[in-house]
Structure 1
């Protein structure tokens, strides 16, 4: 007999519990930790710009070289079409390989087509999937869909971390890996994607391994970092965040829409590689292992122009997500 999956309302309860909005806590059994990989050394204080005119972030990007950018793999990116427009999501296969593969399978099987955005909670998440997943009318999933393991974190070994020197509240060290915001526990040798604005995760129930990629959410508010290590993060919205963050807020519990007509329908979702090349978006993310990246970070720490009265002299992980552009 097929196990009955938790409803989206149960999934939402798990999301809120992880964020500290409800009482129950969720435990994570950590795997044996391998030796940590070498990472970029973090200085005690970031070096300031040279005397003279401070280049702006736009100046840095305008002067960037083609090699400063990485092109998004079309096999690992999705285009979700909503009535208001398109949302482009890159999948983080290096951090959640089974979930990412499942999401690609679901997309190619047309699973998401005709489903809906079922929840929009102020300063928290927008969630989409099958509102009838616990009902006889639930959408059938591909038979090849894998049983997804817990992918809350991965071994640090093998990752090239561009570490930030700034101290983080939630982790011993933070930085970026290939443009992904990452937190690290060097003692345990583990690394994980952080719940920054625009990060996409796989909704789950009370059981840590109850997600499979068929229910997804995007962070639309302030980074709820308490979710880190409690839910599998699977990607990042690269374009179209305004389409998700501007939806009417649900009036039901936890931001769920109480009536079917309040939900935003999903016209279809496609893997970018399956879109005809002439129509396919070609996006690039600023590489986070280059001198241009360090210069861009400094332009955020030491602001140019005449508007800033107080210069922050620091950046915060979720406030420094790498820029995205259409390939020239």
Structure 2
């Protein structure tokens, strides 16, 4: 018994310390293979730019199936070849497409998709987010996506940094998917339930966010000023297997994801003197990584 009582004193004398708390980056790096799920190549939209550079978007067919089907059809038809990023609004969005130049839509594209702004929560296994949200009754994650639930029990994806949505005119227009935007600033959650969210940028967001801001209203480039030219937009599934990118997201049902959220809300590494004790769903992005080599 005396030996056990002496142990704390021995630890003090020897300078032994408890392990440092893991940072969110540490947790992601140490997550086992079982904590990750593969993203199907049919859900990866690959943007290559003229002059070099690439962005990769993960599509969300479970939330906007008709719009995503349109996007896949547009990609297979080469619709965006020769298009550009023509709008970059500071702290808001970068937008690309043909800017309604009258280019005919390929066969199979639905010209007037339904308003896929929300969907029923039925059939979704939603992992509740442990912190309050300013816009929704509850927020959580399902299938690697951040979702918000409302009093109607409908859910929507959330406008966070990197979210990709469909440009549209005033209602009843819902957009075909030919004009897309990515959020490059503070999360504009007021857009939730007002526009079709079709995915998120999982790699190469800097190819959009670091562009010069448009000088015209809403960040459009002045007429005659070229935007960033797009060489091609393809589905990864249409690329040769040896050339296609491959990604995984962290499963929200895993212990690693639980630890990751806790660490995002309660930073205890050396820089932080006061842990926040909470986190916004957009400030705890679902970790995504390149698939490790076998």
Q: TM-score, normalised by structure 1?
A: 0.81
> Counterpart of 2:63?
95
Task: Tell me which residue corresponds to 2:124.
Answer: 159
Separation in 2, partners of 1:150, 1:62: 39
Of the three residues 45, 51, 60, the one matched with 1:78 is: 45
Which structure 1 residue ranges, 4+ long, deviate > 6 Å from structure 2?
Answer: none
Partner of 1:205: 169
Is 1:318 equivalent to 2:285 in the alignment?
no
Report deviation, 1:84. Answer: 4.5
1:65 to 32, 38, 49: 32
Displacement of 1:299 after TM fit? Answer: 1.5
1:301 aligns with 2:245: no
Q: How big is the shift at 1:52?
A: 5.2
* Cα displacement string for residues 18-54 of structure 1 (whole angstroms, at most 9, x for unaligned residues): xxxxxxxxxxxxxxxxxxxxxxxxxxxxxxxxx8531
2:257 aligned counterpart, secondary structure: helix
Alignment partners' CA distance in 2, 1:166 and 1:321: 14
Q: Deviations over 1:217-241 (max 9, x none)?
A: 0000000111111111010000001
Is the CA contact (8 Å cut-off) linking 1:84 and 1:243 kept in structure 2?
A: no
CA 1:295–1:208 in 2, change beyond 3 Å: closer, same or farther? farther
SS in 1 for 2:71: helix
Structure 1: runs of 5 or more not aligned: 1-50
Deviation sequence 1:171-218 (CA, Å, 0-9, x none): 000011111111001x31200001111000001101144311011000
Measured after TM superposition, the shift of residue 87 of structure 1 is: 0.4
CA RMSD of aligned residues (A): 1.3
For the pair shown, the structure with the greater C-alpha radius of gyration is: 2
Counterpart of 1:182 in structure 2 is 147
1:271 to 225, 229, 235: 235
User: Contact 2:268/2:275 (CA < 8 Å) preserved in 1?
Assistant: no
Which consecutive unaligned segments of at least 5 residues does structure 2 have? 1-17
Question: Equivalents in 1 of 2:204, 2:126: separation in Å?
Answer: 27
Instruction: Give 2:109's aligned residue.
Output: 145
Distance 1:247 1:162 in 2: 36
Instruction: Count matched residues.
Output: 273
Task: Quickly say closer, same or farther: Cα 1:121–1:70, change in 2 above 3 A.
Answer: same
Asked whether the equivalents of residues 91 and 235 of structure 1 are also in contact (C-alpha less than 8 Å), the reply is yes
